[in-house]
Structure formats: C-alpha cells, structure tokens
Amino acid sequence: MYTAAEARRLDAVAINEHGIPGYALMKRAGEAAFEAIGQRFPQRSHWVVFCGAGNNGGDGYVIADLARQDGIAVTVCALKPVETLTGDALKAAEQWLASGGQVHPGVPGHIDSADLVIDALLGTGLDRPVGGEYARAIALINRSNNPVAAVDVPSGLSADTGNVLGEEAINADCTITFIGRKRGLYTGDGPDHCGEVVFAGLDVPDAVYESVAEPGLLLSGQEIHGWLPARLKNSHKGDYGWLLAVGGDRGMSGAVRLCGEAALRCGAGKVTLLSHAEHVALLNVGCPELMVRAAQADQPGNSDHEIIDSVDVLAVGPGLGRSAWSEALLDSCLQSAKPLLLDADALNIVASRGDCGRFNALSQEVVLTPHPAEAGRLLGCSTQEIQSDRVAAALELARQTAAVVVLKGCGSIIACPKGRYAICEAGNPGMASAGSGDVLSGVIGALMAQGLDGWRAACAGVGVHGVAGDRAANAIGQHGMLASDIIARLPQALCH
C-alpha cells in the first residue's frame, strides 16, 4: 500500500525512468476501469461520467470513450472546462470530443435517466475539505439510486488516512485503483466508501516499486501459512509454547477465559489462566483444557513469579481491572523477561502512570494491542486525534514504546518501531462486540508462544482473527455475533 505521494512517485518512475508515456498509462487505467465496471454492471446501458481536473478526470474521459464505442449511452459532466485542462487529461478530453462525444458543463440538476455513475472527480491529490461544485456533485451522486464506480479513490476521501474530507465522500459500490493500492482505501472511513476494491497494476515493470523503500503491507489473513512452521509428527505440547493469560479481576473473568480459549484454538501447546481467586474454580468449566491459577499479587510473599517464570509468553490485560490487585499483578509481569502482550487495562494502567516509555528499557518482545481510546491515553491525546491519521498514530506509539503496536478498528493497523506498517482488510462490523479484543490477544499470544516474533505474530494474528470473524458473519450474520463465535472458527481460519 502507498500514500498519495508514494503513488505519484510510482507514476513518475514509470514515465521518466521506464519510458511509459503518461497518456499510455492513462489509457491503460481507463481500459482496466472500463473492463472492471463492465464485468460488475453488465446490464447498465446509460452511464454518467463525472470528470474533474487532472489525471483522474482524464481517466474518466477514456472510460467514457470506451463505453460509447461499446454501444453504451454516455453522458459526461465536466466540472472543469475542457479548454482549461492540460497535459494528458486534455488529450483524453479532446479524444472524447473528436470521437463525437459531448460535454455537459457543471453539475446537472438530476441524473435520473442514468443507471450507472462513474466518479472521476478528484482522485488521490485531495488534501483539504471538498467544497463548491465538487461538493454538490458528490451530494448528487450519493443521493441517486444508481450504482457508483469510483476511479482510483472515491472523491472526498483522503487517500492517506481514509478520512472523509468535508461533509461527505462518494459512496462507491466498487473502486478501481491503479499501480499502487492507496492505504486510505483500507482503514478509517475507507472501507465504508470504497465498496469492492479492484486493483489494476497497469503492467508497469516490477522495478517501479523499488522506488518506494518501505510500502505498507496489506494483510488478507493468508500470511500465517508462510510464517507458522508445519508441525512435525514427532512432537509434543511443549514444542508449541506455553502461554500465560493474565487478568480477570472481580466480575471480569470472561475476558481472560476468552483469551485463553482463543490461544488454545490457535495452537498453543499449553495455556494457563492467572486470575482472581474469587472465580478460579469456574474458569475452565466448559474448557477443561485450560489450566487455572489464583493470582496472589496483592498478598505478601506472593508466588505469582513461579508461574510467570515457567511459561514462554505472557498475555496481560483481558479483564485485568484497575484495582491494587491489578496493578500489582501487572508489575509482576513487567518485571519478567518473558515476551509480553499487553491489552486493555494493562495499557490503561501504564497510561495512567505516564509510564509509556518504560518499554524502551525492556529487552524482550513486546506487543501492545490498544483500541483508539487506549492509544490516545498512551500518547496523551484524544481518540479523535488518533482516528484522524490511524497509521501515523500507530507508528508514533510504536516509536515511543519500542514495541509492535496493533491499533484495532476498521482496517486494524500493525506498526513496528522502525517504521514498517501493515493494514488488515479482513474483518467486519459484527466483531465490534465485547470480548473480540480479548480473543485477538489470545490469538497473537499463541502465535508468539509458537515462535513467531512480535511483528509476524501481530500481522498473522490480526489476519487470522479477521478471517475467523468473516467466517462467523457468513455463517450467522453480523448482528448478534459473539466473541466465542470467532473462537469457534479460528481452527478453520488457520487452515484456510
């Protein structure tokens, strides 16, 4: 995935260093978009193409010309007069006119006669709120009853952050994006506005992509198969790691139970729950494979360190709470040299102490899995500021903590301290329910216990969690999905 600036660099390298004329790229983009649109909307016989300035508008003219040649009725609405266009966009518009096409200036009063709308208004260059005629066009398109195909990026959406810039952005049924996937399509508001994302590489040489040193990684959930070693027949539970899930203060036992069961379903050889004595006797009812220990964190001479020192990985935070017991238990875990995953109240306790930088002194692997509000507390800013640029926020938190960070949400982001990041396209709104994050902690913790480093465990874990959530949604629907429904599909997601 690429930022808008990185995508422009890819274009420039293809043109200037590999000898592909800009107009040739524009024609390839138009052809790819026309083919994708035709495949998805084969019965639509009257297309309205909204063309703006720049190359995005040029793509629109190419699409319009190809559609007219194919016998489709086409209306072109131009928000910038053809005579004011320049470069390749002007060539495309002149070709449309030369072939007999017409241009209708400005925003029409209605588009009721059409049965398909093409958005070629703004593209990747948008960096400020949309206003004027462009805002009117977006509103008109969104209020029509026609399917919409967006060219490169839905107009009104930031290609970098996935945020809507202005009052609204195009609500597309599909978005055809070219040469490089724009990261804003996959996080924030992006998935709600893009519909199906279709990628067209335009046959540029592979060497073009070498011009961007560290693009983002788009996760599908399949990465696990290249990273998790196959199991030997001659193996035992000790070969697959021992995870300690730590949490479950009074009244919150379910969270640590979900974490532990998810870890077992993701292949951890052994899982122990270290939780409050009040409900230890009930924690593994229904899942006898879980081992359970009562935490003695707030008692003199507590023996928690014995189990902490025995396991391979610690997943701390699900249902941990904010009591003296919770803080003491977290401190015992932070004193360990074992790989750590911190979630939920473990993060909130660290934030309340202003202790975000303490992770820099730790030598072991550390993974943090905040939702936006928890990330805001750790960075000392608002949830809105986190959401205004999710990738930047995740990278900054990773830099400050020297930890791998999973910023949960629509298009969960994984960031590492050296600046690498990934976004997961798997997952659905049915996963926005209590306990889903606890399941994710168990998934990532289990993969760490099986030998994956923090970055790969986080990337693969987020992907597997998302795929399992999608399988649950496909089976029972998004409304009423439970975290335990995700757990039930984890083995299938691992093998998919």
In this predicted model, what pLDDT tens digit does every residue of 252-279 receive, in sequence order? 999 999 999 999 999 999 999 999 999 9
Overall number of domains in the chain: 2
Tokens of 257: 């139970």
pLDDT for the residue numbered 361? 77
Q: Provide, rounded to the nearest whole percent, the portion of the chain with pLDDT above 70.
A: 99
Tell me whether residue 233 is in a domain. yes
Q: Are residues 439 and 329 in the same domain?
A: yes
Residue type, 452: L
Tell whether pTM > 0.75.
yes
Q: How much of the chain, in percent, has pLDDT values that exceed 90?
A: 92
Over residues 318-339, mean pLDDT: 95
The CATH number of the domain where 89 resides is what? 3.40.50.10260
State pLDDT tens for residues 191-214: 999 999 999 999 999 999 999 999
pLDDT at 496: 66
Residue 219 lies in a domain: no
Three-state DSSP class for residue 151: strand
User: pLDDT at residue 301 above 70?
Assistant: no
Domain that holds residue 77: 4-214
- Residues 250 and 327 placed together within one structural domain of the fold: yes
Q: Which amino acid does the sequence have at 234? A: N
Could you give the angle at which helices 454-476 and 436-449 cross, rounded to 10 degrees? 140
Rounded CA gap, 425 and 408, in Å?
12
3-state helix, strand, coil in the chain (%, to 5): 45, 15, 40
Looking at the structure, tell me whether residues 131 and 250 fall in a common domain: no
Give the pLDDT score at 298.
Answer: 76
Structure confidence at residue 172 as a pLDDT band (50, 70, 90): very high
**pLDDT tier at 221, thresholds 50, 70, 90:** confident
Q: What is the mean pLDDT of residues 97-120?
A: 94
Same domain, 443 and 314: yes
On whether both 322 and 451 belong to a single domain, the answer is: yes
Q: What is the mean pLDDT of the chain?
A: 96
The pLDDT of residue 344: 97
pLDDT of the residue at 362: 82
Q: Is the pLDDT of residue 136 over 80?
A: yes
Q: Is the pLDDT of residue 118 over 90?
A: yes
Do 353 and 451 lie in a common domain?
yes
